[in-house]
Structure 1
Amino acid sequence: MKDDRRVLIVTGGGRGIGAAVARLAARDGYAVCINYARDDDAAARLVGALRAGGADAIAVRGDVAEPDAVRDLFDRAERELGPVTALVNNAGITGGLGAFRNADLAMLRRVIDVNLLGTMLCAQEAVRRWERAGTAGRMVNVSSIAATLGAAGEYVHYAATKAAVESFTVGLAKELAAAGVRVNAVSPGTTRTDIHAAAGDPGRPARVAAVVPMRRVGEPDEIAEAVLWLLSDKASYVTGAVLRVAGGL
């Protein structure tokens, strides 16, 4: 195995923005480990497509909010692909739509666990391994425009977790900068993925497009291109940044 082999873990990589990141990373020469939560068939199809294109790729099912699952994810990636050099923390859920006063405790805990704790656990595992190996790793955390807009009447709880992800990104980037590790975030606007249907509002992208200055929502590949730029040497002097990819919002 080459010492300069690039190995990327993408959490929530079986669909939407995560799957787009996996495809573009494979195009750019990464070996890719896709983490996913439930859909075995979708993950298998994506891995099959990546391998058909000549990439090394695997899929590992697991809950990023569970420390044992996170360790297993990194262990599997390292064993089958090589030492992990990059991480994209993309796994996230909105929870139900509606007024915050009606949000139940179980849903609130689950959104915080996946979006914030999951990001932190994966980041922690990556950083520990990079420090042991002396690796100048690369990390991109996927936030949301909701972090600054607030998502009133829709998912204030989700917005709060994404704001926390952005604060975490800035702090961790400063903590690790002297070691050569770069940590950044992307903040997508509304993007055409099935996360809206999962939240119970499949028509949301079409409705939201009218308030976006560019008069359309984003496509997963557009967000993925920003992620891959932040991972690349072209962004060598960029750390602690939150890159807004939101059509002008």
Structure 2
Amino acid sequence: MSGLLIVTGASAGIGAATARMAAFSGWSRIVVHYGQDKQGAEETAAVVESMGGQAYLFQADVSKPKAIARMFEKLSDIKPGRVGLVNNAGIVGKNASLADLTPERVEKVFAVNVFGAIEVARQAVGLMRGWGAGGAIVNVSSAAARLGAPNMYVDYAASKGAIDTLTLGLADELAPEGIRVNAIRPGLIATAIHAKGGVPDRLEKIGHTPPMGRPGTPEECAEAILWLLSERASYVTRSILDVAGGR
């Protein structure tokens, strides 16, 4: 597949699985973005290149618009082609109830999960327009956007609700240009996000609760993302696909 795939937050979890699987699926050039985990990003890039793909490793704090702009300025020098964006970078705070959702905490979550995602999308669409080869976007939301995550991380859930709305609006706005915009909503997925939320044993406790009786894997999310990006989904836009085992 000719083109450039940009995966934000590709050092671990769903982002890393998507970048690795993208190389296997035929994307020849993959941007492996990371925020802090350089080692994880390097491992992802190594897998990409072991499969014959070309990996571009970029660090950027997506809560900083200037950092995102610098990354895309460098990307603009790469050979043009169709652009795919996996808008995946995100953070979660520790499990907390409303009283603990301080303005500082909420601002940090939204700076990455919402403001950063919007700016990444803006820059990616600018690249698509400049190169004139079209493209597609998949935003990574969460089942928390539907469920609300009470007594856990309502702020994270609210930020993912914003991603759902962003997906719908951008899909309508960009469809006339041939740019498709979709999202996935992962459910209970076996990634490090649970430990980052302060509950490393969360899946041991509730991983069996989805109707399918188990948690999902990052690779199962990656499969959905890559299908939405591909020409096999050429008539699919403005869709939000739950990858949540029926939850």
* TM-score, normalised relative to structure 2: 0.95
User: Secondary structure of the equivalent of 2:168?
Assistant: helix
Amino acid at match of 1:127: V
Offset of 1:44 from its aligned partner? 1.3
Give 1:240's aligned residue.
238
Structure 1 contact 77–83 (Cα < 8 Å) conserved = no
Superposed CA RMSD in Å reads 1.4
Match of 2:85 among 84, 87, 93: 87
User: Secondary structure of the equivalent of 1:244?
Assistant: strand
Change (3 A) 1:77 1:205: farther
Give 1:21's aligned residue.
18
78-87 or 50-59, larger mean C-alpha shift = 78-87
CA distance in structure 2 between the aligned counterparts of 1:78 and 1:44, rounded to whole angstroms:
22
Structure 2 contact 82–134 (Cα < 8 Å) conserved = no
1:1-249 equivalent positions in 2, closer than 5 A: 5-30=2-27, 31-80=29-78, 82-83=80-81, 85-249=83-247
Structure 1 contact 150–159 (Cα < 8 Å) conserved = yes
CA distance in structure 2 between the aligned counterparts of 1:246 and 1:59, rounded to whole angstroms:
30
**Structure 2 alignment gaps of length 5 or more:** none
CA distance in structure 2 between the aligned counterparts of 1:5 and 1:244, rounded to whole angstroms:
28
User: Secondary structure of the equivalent of 1:210?
Assistant: coil
* Percent of aligned pairs sharing the same letter: 42
User: Secondary structure of the equivalent of 2:77?
Assistant: helix
Offset of 1:80 from its aligned partner? 4.7
Change (3 A) 1:151 1:184: same
User: Secondary structure of the equivalent of 1:229?
Assistant: helix
User: Secondary structure of the equivalent of 1:79?
Assistant: coil
* TM-score, normalised relative to structure 1: 0.95
User: Secondary structure of the equivalent of 1:211?
Assistant: coil
User: Secondary structure of the equivalent of 2:53?
Assistant: coil
How many residues in Structure 1 have an aligned counterpart in Structure 2? 246
User: Secondary structure of the equivalent of 2:62?
Assistant: coil
CA distance in structure 1 between the aligned counterparts of 2:203 and 2:89, rounded to whole angstroms:
20
CA distance in structure 2 between the aligned counterparts of 1:130 and 1:96, rounded to whole angstroms:
37
Amino acid at match of 2:151: G
**Structure 1 alignment gaps of length 5 or more:** none
60-69 or 150-159, larger mean C-alpha shift = 60-69
Amino acid at match of 1:14: S
Change (3 A) 1:123 1:61: same
Amino acid at match of 1:15: A
199-208 or 161-170, larger mean C-alpha shift = 199-208
Structure 1 contact 56–81 (Cα < 8 Å) conserved = no
Offset of 1:82 from its aligned partner? 4.4
Offset of 1:191 from its aligned partner? 0.4
Change (3 A) 1:64 1:84: farther
